[in-house]
Amino acid sequence: MQYSVQASNIAGKAETEGAIKMVQSKPTFTNGGLEPSYEFKEGLEDLVLSVDIDGSPLPVVTWMKDGKPLDPASDPRVTITTGDGKSTLRVTNIDPKDKGRYSVSLKNPNGAAESNTNVIVKRESNQIEINCNQCSY
Protein backbone atom coordinates (compact mmCIF):
# COMPACT_ATOMS: atom_id res chain seq x y z
CA MET A 1 0.00 0.00 0.00
CA GLN A 2 1.20 3.46 -0.89
CA TYR A 3 0.74 6.34 1.55
CA SER A 4 1.52 10.03 1.38
CA VAL A 5 1.78 12.72 4.03
CA GLN A 6 1.52 16.45 3.58
CA ALA A 7 2.48 19.03 6.18
CA SER A 8 2.36 22.77 6.00
CA ASN A 9 3.06 25.64 8.30
CA ILE A 10 4.40 29.21 8.16
CA ALA A 11 7.76 28.01 6.88
CA GLY A 12 6.24 26.20 3.91
CA LYS A 13 4.99 22.84 2.70
CA ALA A 14 6.45 19.37 2.66
CA GLU A 15 5.20 16.11 1.22
CA THR A 16 6.50 12.56 1.29
CA GLU A 17 5.35 9.15 0.13
CA GLY A 18 6.06 5.67 1.33
CA ALA A 19 4.90 2.10 1.04
CA ILE A 20 3.88 -0.20 3.85
CA LYS A 21 4.30 -3.89 3.35
CA MET A 22 2.77 -6.30 5.84
CA VAL A 23 5.23 -8.96 6.92
CA GLN A 24 3.67 -12.39 6.76
CA SER A 25 4.96 -15.51 8.47
CA LYS A 26 4.07 -19.15 8.78
CA PRO A 27 2.46 -20.34 12.03
CA THR A 28 4.75 -21.36 14.88
CA PHE A 29 4.60 -22.52 18.48
CA THR A 30 6.62 -19.90 20.34
CA ASN A 31 6.93 -22.08 23.46
CA GLY A 32 7.93 -25.22 21.55
CA GLY A 33 4.43 -26.70 21.53
CA LEU A 34 3.00 -29.44 23.72
CA GLU A 35 5.09 -31.69 25.97
CA PRO A 36 5.37 -35.36 24.86
CA SER A 37 2.90 -36.44 27.55
CA TYR A 38 0.72 -35.14 30.38
CA GLU A 39 -0.85 -36.95 33.33
CA PHE A 40 -4.09 -35.91 35.01
CA LYS A 41 -6.05 -37.36 37.95
CA GLU A 42 -9.62 -38.48 37.31
CA GLY A 43 -12.17 -36.20 38.90
CA LEU A 44 -9.58 -34.10 40.72
CA GLU A 45 -8.37 -31.76 38.02
CA ASP A 46 -9.30 -30.42 34.62
CA LEU A 47 -7.38 -31.47 31.54
CA VAL A 48 -5.70 -28.24 30.43
CA LEU A 49 -3.36 -27.99 27.42
CA SER A 50 -2.00 -24.63 26.32
CA VAL A 51 0.34 -23.40 23.58
CA ASP A 52 1.80 -20.01 22.70
CA ILE A 53 1.30 -19.28 19.00
CA ASP A 54 2.43 -16.81 16.36
CA GLY A 55 1.95 -16.22 12.65
CA SER A 56 0.78 -13.57 10.24
CA PRO A 57 -1.99 -13.55 9.43
CA LEU A 58 -3.04 -15.12 12.72
CA PRO A 59 -3.40 -18.88 12.25
CA VAL A 60 -6.61 -20.87 12.48
CA VAL A 61 -6.27 -23.22 15.48
CA THR A 62 -7.78 -26.73 15.59
CA TRP A 63 -7.59 -29.02 18.64
CA MET A 64 -8.05 -32.76 18.08
CA LYS A 65 -8.28 -35.96 20.12
CA ASP A 66 -7.30 -39.22 18.44
CA GLY A 67 -7.36 -37.49 15.05
CA LYS A 68 -10.90 -36.07 15.40
CA PRO A 69 -11.56 -32.33 15.88
CA LEU A 70 -12.83 -31.40 19.35
CA ASP A 71 -16.11 -29.50 19.25
CA PRO A 72 -17.22 -27.52 22.32
CA ALA A 73 -20.75 -27.40 20.85
CA SER A 74 -21.08 -31.19 21.07
CA ASP A 75 -19.39 -31.65 24.47
CA PRO A 76 -20.14 -29.05 27.16
CA ARG A 77 -17.07 -30.17 29.14
CA VAL A 78 -14.79 -28.87 26.36
CA THR A 79 -13.71 -25.21 26.08
CA ILE A 80 -11.24 -23.81 23.57
CA THR A 81 -9.99 -20.25 23.94
CA THR A 82 -7.64 -18.58 21.48
CA GLY A 83 -6.37 -15.01 21.67
CA ASP A 84 -3.40 -12.82 22.52
CA GLY A 85 -0.90 -15.32 21.11
CA LYS A 86 -2.19 -18.29 23.12
CA SER A 87 -4.60 -21.19 22.61
CA THR A 88 -5.91 -23.31 25.47
CA LEU A 89 -7.96 -26.49 25.54
CA ARG A 90 -9.82 -27.31 28.78
CA VAL A 91 -11.83 -30.47 29.50
CA THR A 92 -13.66 -30.52 32.84
CA ASN A 93 -14.76 -33.57 34.87
CA ILE A 94 -12.18 -35.80 33.22
CA ASP A 95 -12.37 -39.57 33.36
CA PRO A 96 -10.39 -42.42 31.77
CA LYS A 97 -12.21 -42.06 28.42
CA ASP A 98 -10.45 -38.69 28.04
CA LYS A 99 -7.04 -40.36 27.70
CA GLY A 100 -5.57 -40.44 24.22
CA ARG A 101 -3.52 -38.59 21.62
CA TYR A 102 -4.23 -34.85 21.57
CA SER A 103 -2.96 -32.49 18.91
CA VAL A 104 -3.21 -28.84 18.01
CA SER A 105 -2.75 -27.62 14.45
CA LEU A 106 -2.09 -24.09 13.21
CA LYS A 107 -2.81 -23.01 9.62
CA ASN A 108 -2.57 -19.78 7.67
CA PRO A 109 -1.85 -19.02 3.97
CA ASN A 110 1.90 -19.21 4.66
CA GLY A 111 2.02 -22.70 6.13
CA ALA A 112 1.02 -25.04 8.92
CA ALA A 113 2.38 -26.44 12.18
CA GLU A 114 1.23 -29.24 14.48
CA SER A 115 2.09 -30.36 17.99
CA ASN A 116 1.03 -33.66 19.63
CA THR A 117 0.92 -35.17 23.09
CA ASN A 118 -0.28 -38.29 24.89
CA VAL A 119 -2.70 -37.69 27.75
CA ILE A 120 -2.91 -40.20 30.59
CA VAL A 121 -5.82 -40.10 33.04
CA LYS A 122 -5.08 -41.87 36.33
CA ARG A 123 -7.92 -43.24 38.42
CA GLU A 124 -8.00 -42.21 42.03
CA SER A 125 -8.37 -45.16 44.36
CA ASN A 126 -11.28 -44.99 46.79
CA GLN A 127 -9.91 -47.81 48.90
CA ILE A 128 -8.98 -47.10 52.49
CA GLU A 129 -6.31 -49.18 54.13
CA ILE A 130 -6.96 -50.04 57.78
CA ASN A 131 -4.26 -51.44 60.01
CA CYS A 132 -5.96 -53.83 62.42
CA ASN A 133 -3.05 -54.98 64.58
CA GLN A 134 -5.05 -54.11 67.69
CA CYS A 135 -8.57 -54.66 66.37
CA SER A 136 -10.90 -57.07 68.20
CA TYR A 137 -13.50 -59.00 66.32
| Tens of pLDDT, residues 23-60 | 899 999 999 999 999 999 998 889 999 999 999 999 99
Strand runs (DSSP E) across 1-137, as ranges? 2-9, 12-19, 25-29, 37-41, 47-56, 60-65, 68-69, 78-83, 86-91, 100-108, 111-122
Domain membership of residue 7 (yes or no) is no
Domain hosting residue 107, numbered range: 25-122
Residue 97: which CATH number? Answer: 2.60.40.10
| Tens of pLDDT, residues 78-104 | 999 999 999 999 999 999 999 999 999
- For the entire predicted model, the pTM comes to 0.76
Domain membership of residue 127 (yes or no) is no
Number of domains in the chain: 1
